[in-house]
A and B are shown apart, each in its own frame.
Chain A
Amino acid sequence: MVMKHIKKLYAFLIFFFLYAPIMVLIIFSFNESKSRGSWDGLTLKWYIELFKDRQIMSAMYYTLSVAILSSLIATAIGTAAAIGIDNMKRFKKSMIMNLTYLPVLNPDIVTGIALMLLFIFMRIRLGFLTLLLAHITFNIPYVIISVLPKLKQLNKHIYEAALDLGASPSYALRKVIIPEIMPGIITGFLLAFTLSLDDFVISFFTTGSGVSNLSITIYSMARRGINPKINALSTIMFITVLLLLIIINNRMSKNNTIKE
């Protein structure tokens, strides 16, 4: 019983740690002053200005589409790769894994500039496509690293059992392996999506004119100070995600009660 309360308290403290800065940035989206240094009263003007800002709106669109597409593609390629890598012989496996770590280990600026030069060399016009390719590239390792532990945990015999029972390899993969490693795939997807939303350096160097994401827009304000419009946008994003989560959650619990 005591343990339960300690657990609750611990979870609460960790969540508090995670959300404290979020609360701060939400509060400052209502600050009349442009500076975080002073509080000049409540206002909604940043929200109004936000919707007039073409640049932020277009950045929002590119951020979301690149994050969604790149994390989905990276999850697909990465999961398949993890399954393959898990079955490899030790030496080959080590080689490939070490290469996989490189984008994680390489500072963003090195990856960004190297990819930019590569795209220019390959004569791919810098823009949405190159941005997407770059994001998939730095996302894949995270998916692989997330999925591999699940594959190790997997009981190798169930796959063989499925084959013995007459399942085709692809059917066994779909119906036996994938469901078992699903938590790892979801973790990989979530981490990839998060990284993609937040990336600045690599995006900056691999995108072309007319295509920029929110991070680029925000970082480029660094000399002049970040406009509170961005806080307003973050607040809206945050509330939207939260609402979606509540709706889905309610739906799910309803479905479950009907089934029972």
Chain B
Amino acid sequence: MKENRVVAPYLIWMTIFIVLPIILVIFFGVTIRTESGLQLSLDNFKRFFEPIYLMVLWRSIRLALISTVICLILGYPMAMILASNGLKMKNTLVLLFIIPMWMNFLLRTYAWMTLLERGGIINTILNFLKLPSLNILYTEQAVILGMVYNFLPFMVLPIYSVLIKIDKSLLEAAEDLGADSITVFRKVTFPLSISGVISGITMVFMPAVTTFVISRLLGGGQFTLIGNLIEQQFLFVGDWSFGSAISIVMMILILVSMGFMSKYEKENEGAGLW
């Protein structure tokens, strides 16, 4: 295949709209504004390694990780069900899976607040059934719930698209050879779908690390995440240098740590990430 010809438009696009802006961000990150104009400095990076900011970074990664794992656990069976053979209206169901995400994010999140609050819909139902109330709004669990809700389709769809084309004869062969359904899943289905899983994890974990609206609304502003920190720097403080430095450090850390994950990919050619 002539790789260069098909990939050329993207390379041009990438250079202009991804590489150039990144250079700009790096430029902001390594300069500080002084009275005599811009000056090269690594102070912004040093500042990021103060304990308070590291704590925020750790919290962001932890919550994103938990959400990603939950998305995977909830999403994989769902993808299998959607991809299963006898299912009628498969396409419709897949579309139905993504349509909720076409409603505005802010409205959906507010709706969750209506569901979760003390006198909210869920608690009204629980009380009606004489069950104890559930107070999860403004807790970490609520933030995780919001992340899982918003990113679940990003886990399910890529896995689904890989699962539907798995050669069914492989599964049958395994069964014929006496493997029970758990073994078939462990030894055949899951390994064959691993590239879809990796895509799903990437598309859930990466945006989850930098989200800030979910933690602000469902977490009641009490769980500052790295995204909140960066937003704060750019908008309210006007310290673009520090904001850029935070995002550069974060990007490097995540790309490196996700690089380790790609080692698990069995194929000899990885999907990037070093």
Q: B175 CB to closest chain A CB, in angstroms? A: 14
Stretch of B33-41, B94-102, B130-138 with 4 or more beta carbons under 8 angstroms from chain A: B94-102
Residues of A within 8 A of B230 (CB): 107, 109-110
Interface of chain A residues 187 through 218 with chain B (CB within 8 A): 187, 190-191, 194, 197-198, 200, 214-215, 218
A190: min CB distance to chain B, Å: 5
Given A25-B108, A96-B272: A149 touches B162 (CB 8 Å cut-off):
yes
| B54-113 interface (Cβ within 8 A of A) | 74, 77-78, 81-82, 84, 89, 91-93, 95-113
Q: Find out whether the CB atom of A137 lies under 8 angstroms from the CB atom of B165.
A: no
Q: Is A36's CB under 8 angstroms from B274's CB? A: no
Contact of A24 among B25, B115, B198, B212 (CB under 8 A): B115
Q: Could you tell me which residues of chain A, from 145 to 194, have a CB within 8 Å of some CB in chain B?
A: 145-146, 148-150, 152-153, 159, 169, 173, 180, 183-184, 186-187, 190-191, 194
Q: Are B202 and A149 in contact (CB under 8 A)?
A: no
- Docked-complex contact A107 and B247, CB < 8 angstroms: yes
List which B1-59 residues lie within 8 A (CB) of chain A: 1-11, 13-14, 16-22, 24-25
Interface presence of A77 (CB below 8 A): yes
Number of residues from B at the complex interface, CB < 8 A: 99
B121 — which chain A residues lie within 8 A by C-beta?
24
A7-B81, A78-B10, A249-B89 as given contacts; A106 in contact with B247, CB under 8 Å? yes
A70 to chain B minimum Cβ distance, whole angstroms, is 12
- Asked if B143 is at the interface (CB within 8 A of a chain A CB), the reply is no
Nearest A residue (CB) for B105: A198
Would you call A153 and B114 a contact (CB within 8 A)? no
Q: What residues of B have a CB within 8 angstroms of the CB of A21 in the complex?
A: 100, 108-109, 111-112, 115, 149
- Residue in contact with A149 in the complex, picked from B10, B25, B89, B198, CB distance below 8 Å: B198
Taking CB atoms and an 8 Å cut-off, the chain B residues in 218-267 that contact chain A are: 226-227, 230-231, 234-235, 240, 243-244, 247, 250-251, 254-255, 267
Q: In the docked arrangement, what's the CA distance between A162 and B50, Å? A: 59
B203, A98: Cβ atoms under 8 Å?
A: no
**Pair A10/B24 contact, Cβ less than 8 Å:** no
B206 contacts A by Cβ under 8 Å = yes
Which residue of B has the minimal Cβ distance to A244? B95
A69 within 8 A of B: no
Q: Does B214 make an interface contact (CB < 8 A)?
A: no
CB distance A114 to B107 under 8 Å? Answer: no
A115 at the B interface (CB under 8 A): yes
Chain A residues with CB under 8 Å of B21's CB are 111, 114-115, 117-118
Determine if A191 and B157 form an interchain contact, defined as CB atoms under 8 angstroms apart.
yes
Given A25-B103, A149-B158: A101 and B206 interface contact (C-beta under 8 Å): yes
A150 touches B165 (CB 8 A): yes
Docked-complex contact A97 and B273, CB < 8 angstroms: yes
Residue tally, chain A, CB below 8 Å to B: 93
**Contact, CB under 8 Å: B81 / A194:** no
Once bound together, how far apart are the Cα atoms of A187 and B155, in whole Å?
Answer: 11
Is the beta-carbon distance between B24 and A117 smaller than 8 angstroms?
Answer: yes
Given contacts A110-B234, A231-B107, contact A105 B209 (CB under 8 A): yes
Q: A184-B161, A187-B157 are in contact. Are A226 and B25 (CB under 8 A)?
A: no
> Could you say which residues of chain A place their CB within 8 Å of the CB of B176?
none
Q: Is the CB of B210 within 8 A of A105?
A: yes
Closest beta carbon of chain A to B4's beta carbon, Å: 7
**Cβ contact within 8 Å between A146 and B84:** no
Report the nearest B residue to A193, measured CB to CB: B102
- In the complex, what residues of A have CB within 8 A of residue B16's CB? 118
Whether A187 lies near B210 (C-beta < 8 A) is no
B250 partner residues in chain A, CB cutoff 8 A: 105
Q: Which residues of A contact B160 (CB under 8 A)?
A: 183, 187
Complex Cα–Cα for A84 and B2 (A) = 7
Q: A255 to chain B: which residues have CB within 8 Å? A: none
Cα distance A233–B210 when bound, in Å?
A: 29
Q: Judge whether A19 is part of the interface by a CB distance below 8 angstroms.
A: yes
Bound: A25/B103 CA distance, A = 9
With a cutoff of 8 Å between Cβ atoms, the chain B residues found around residue A152 in the complex are 195, 267
Whether B10 contacts A146 by the Cβ 8 Å rule is no
Least Cβ–Cβ distance between A231 and chain B, in angstroms: 7
A252, closest chain B residue (CB): B91
Q: Is A242 an interface residue (CB 8 A)?
A: yes
Q: Give A128 to B14 CA distance when docked, in angstroms.
A: 20
Q: Which residues of the other chain, B, contact A48 by a CB distance below 8 angstroms? A: none
Cα distance, A118 to B24, chains bound together (Å): 8
21 residue pairs from A and B, CB less than 8 Å apart: A21-B111, A21-B115, A85-B7, A97-B271, A98-B272, A103-B18, A106-B247, A109-B234, A110-B230, A149-B162, A150-B161, A169-B1, A173-B1, A183-B161, A186-B161, A218-B106, A226-B106, A226-B107, A234-B103, A238-B102, A252-B91
